[in-house]
Chain A
């Protein structure tokens, strides 16, 4: 007997020899890992060892949905992809919304495992239970929007398309995969993995459905949940302003990363605030599949040379092309974000590599000649836009930046490393541990590198003491809400990581499972049994254990790649350079205190940061414990 929720099949696609093998989704896999990130963790652990180069045919690309994907549950439009990351060499994963995830299930598949490398460019066409590998030579080289239009014309105008642009083809290490024109699988360079496999696009069309186990019950909880997705004050704010909401708040608390994370206060912030964008540029609001929260904003600029109407940018791109580059010209940010979606680039890493180079020029480490004569200085948006083109095409200095800040800094030398803000090779997202202590720890330990999606805790950023007391106990107040204190942050990060790992198995959108949470693990424990029919998924403890299992499995994957405590570091800017301005002036992160506590809570060895045998065995990860022991990595 299979579970409901899943469609019950997955496909293994070998692009080297052009074979497709369709198999039943193993129930044991679903029971242990639920879906999405959990499936990917298990598959990549089994199939991608430390000997595999991320850009080689041997790397596996997992594209997965979860049991809730494609149902009418709020935000059930998400899907994910994972592979060893060409940017970091460790765990790579990225999610996107839109409408493509559900379509994969309607076409008859829970997930895909793609391996090999096609001799010629190809695209995959999933169409009502069939999978075809079709030539994509005519689309290779096209920008994303044009390629999507052409592919739809060739297949089905109602199909949904995920696609890489020229950046993925050129193996830019932070290339993105763009889904449904505007939704980016941005982080960790999944677009380069597609490019290395000569996979231009995934085109999906399906007329099937997702059956739920307990229909009446599902309908009832689903409708109530949607109501919350409309009425919750945070949802209303997102509907009205989108994620740019954060700009003003972060400016006030001194956490709006500015000039390559030098400071957290930006003089030009007013021009980038959601209130300003709504008044001057907003044209319409959009939503992903099954979402009534509707956070997506379309903006229009008529300012030359940035005449464009486009979805986004989210807060993160406003930070990366705005404050972090000392740039308050919103039309240029809108245009930069549009270019990233067209070339298929991660907006965060792109902006951050440019910020890195700009600071290197400012500090005299790199000369004007070395940056192709560009007048690279804070706020000079024309130079930034030029660099985006160069990165995507790997032209001139762009070829170096396309490697990401870590590799670029190593190549430049001369002290450039200090200004390369990354963790484990991934550029830092738009937060700063100096004025938001928990994110310091999250950035340091997340499996993807400097991440804001797997462990972002905002209890110390936004407060809400009553929910914090409910979640972690009243005795943790007031310190747990204090942005300048390390106390209790390890606890908050650990539990949040477990819940987010779970969120990424259902799969639902992170914006509503954030802080203050509109949905949390108790909601997952209600919806999962109704969808799948598996009663064990109705127990919060059991779900949290699955979340913890996934976090540990990803850690094992990284440990096998050589990651230890020495890699759970932050750039020295956050630990040694006091915040120069704003309400958090003088603050730095004391990472080691939080790390010790975090490893203890996780059951990882404090000296090495490697999970202990008993921790792995408790989570049914015996096989992983054995392999790490064989490699001499398991703590004794």
Chain B
């Protein structure tokens, strides 16, 4: 199983108490599952919409700096050493 780095920002960083973690995951969706397993309900509330269970609005996931469309690309395969950035909303500029 590839080891990937997940970097968290703003409120996710505060909720998890860390800015990056390493998880074993072969897809983006699996990486999110590992993350929720590790940080539990507190992070879940910040990451997923309570009603729909989907990623909260205006969150962005980047794989190696390229934004992916989630959940359309949830099954995107990850390789050893990939970097996943999860961004709560930011303003454009």
B91 to chain A: which residues have CB within 8 Å? 234, 237-238, 243, 245-246, 511, 514-515
B11 to chain A: which residues have CB within 8 Å? 237, 240
Q: In whole angstroms, how far apart are the Cα atoms of A514 and B91 in the complex?
A: 7
Taken residue by residue from 449 to 466, chain A's Cβ proximity to chain B (1 for < 8 Å, 0 otherwise) reads as: 000100010100111110
B10 to chain A: which residues have CB within 8 Å? 237, 240-241, 245, 248, 274-275
Asked whether A578 is an interface residue with its Cβ less than 8 Å from the other chain, the reply is no
Taken residue by residue from 161 to 178, chain A's Cβ proximity to chain B (1 for < 8 Å, 0 otherwise) reads as: 000000000000000000
With CB as the reference atom, state the residue of chain A lying closest to B11. Answer: A240
Q: Are B92 and A462 in contact (CB under 8 A)?
A: yes
With CB as the reference atom, state the residue of chain B lying closest to A293. Answer: B91
Asked whether A142 is an interface residue with its Cβ less than 8 Å from the other chain, the reply is no
Q: In whole angstroms, how far apart are the Cα atoms of A461 and B67 in the complex?
A: 9
Chain B interface helix/strand/loop/mixed: loop
Asked whether B53 is an interface residue with its Cβ less than 8 Å from the other chain, the reply is no
Residue of A237, A252, A274, A515 touching B65 (CB-CB under 8 A): A252
Asked whether A516 is an interface residue with its Cβ less than 8 Å from the other chain, the reply is yes
With CB as the reference atom, state the residue of chain A lying closest to B58. Answer: A233
Q: In whole angstroms, how far apart are the Cα atoms of A497 and B45 in the complex?
A: 37
A456 to chain B: which residues have CB within 8 Å? 92-93
B92 to chain A: which residues have CB within 8 Å? 246, 456, 458, 461-462, 514-516
Asked whether A478 is an interface residue with its Cβ less than 8 Å from the other chain, the reply is yes
List B16-56 residues whose CB lies under 8 Å from chain A. Answer: 19, 56
Q: Are A463 and B60 in contact (CB under 8 A)?
A: yes
Q: Are B64 and A233 in contact (CB under 8 A)?
A: no
Asked whether B90 is an interface residue with its Cβ less than 8 Å from the other chain, the reply is yes
Q: Are A516 and B58 in contact (CB under 8 A)?
A: yes
Q: In whole angstroms, how far apart are the Cα atoms of A583 and B62 in the complex?
A: 10
A514 to chain B: which residues have CB within 8 Å? 91-93
Q: Are B93 and A452 in contact (CB under 8 A)?
A: yes
A208 to chain B: which residues have CB within 8 Å? none
A241 to chain B: which residues have CB within 8 Å? 10
Nearest-Cβ distance from residue A320 to partner chain B, whole angstroms: 13
With CB as the reference atom, state the residue of chain A lying closest to B61. Answer: A463
With CB as the reference atom, state the residue of chain B lying closest to A435. Answer: B65
Q: In whole angstroms, how far apart are the Cα atoms of A572 and B26 in the complex?
A: 41
Nearest-Cβ distance from residue A430 to partner chain B, whole angstroms: 7
Asked whether A472 is an interface residue with its Cβ less than 8 Å from the other chain, the reply is no
Q: Are B9 and A464 in contact (CB under 8 A)?
A: no
Q: In whole angstroms, how far apart are the Cα atoms of A356 and B10 in the complex?
A: 32
A584 to chain B: which residues have CB within 8 Å? 65
* Chain B CB within 10 Å, residue with most, of A240, A245, A252: A252
Q: In whole angstroms, how far apart are the Cα atoms of A463 and B91 in the complex?
A: 12
Asked whether A582 is an interface residue with its Cβ less than 8 Å from the other chain, the reply is yes
Nearest-Cβ distance from residue A422 to partner chain B, whole angstroms: 19
Nearest-Cβ distance from residue B92 to partner chain A, whole angstroms: 3
B58 to chain A: which residues have CB within 8 Å? 233-234, 464, 516
Asked whether A254 is an interface residue with its Cβ less than 8 Å from the other chain, the reply is yes
A465 to chain B: which residues have CB within 8 Å? 69
With CB as the reference atom, state the residue of chain B lying closest to A241. Answer: B10
Asked whether A399 is an interface residue with its Cβ less than 8 Å from the other chain, the reply is no
List A212-260 residues whose CB lies under 8 Å from chain B. Answer: 233-234, 236-238, 240-241, 243, 245-246, 248-249, 252-254
List B53-93 residues whose CB lies under 8 Å from chain A. Answer: 56-58, 60, 62, 64-67, 69, 85, 87-93
Q: Which residues of B contact A (CB under 8 A)?
A: 7, 9-11, 13-14, 19, 56-58, 60, 62, 64-67, 69, 85, 87-93
Q: Which residues of A contact B (CB under 8 A)?
A: 233-234, 236-238, 240-241, 243, 245-246, 248-249, 252-254, 273-275, 315-316, 430-431, 452, 456, 458, 461-465, 478, 481, 483, 511, 514-516, 582-584
Contacts A456-B93, A516-B89, A583-B65 aside, 12 further interface pairs with beta carbons under 8 A come to: A233-B58, A237-B89, A240-B11, A243-B93, A249-B60, A253-B62, A273-B9, A275-B19, A462-B90, A462-B92, A465-B69, A511-B91
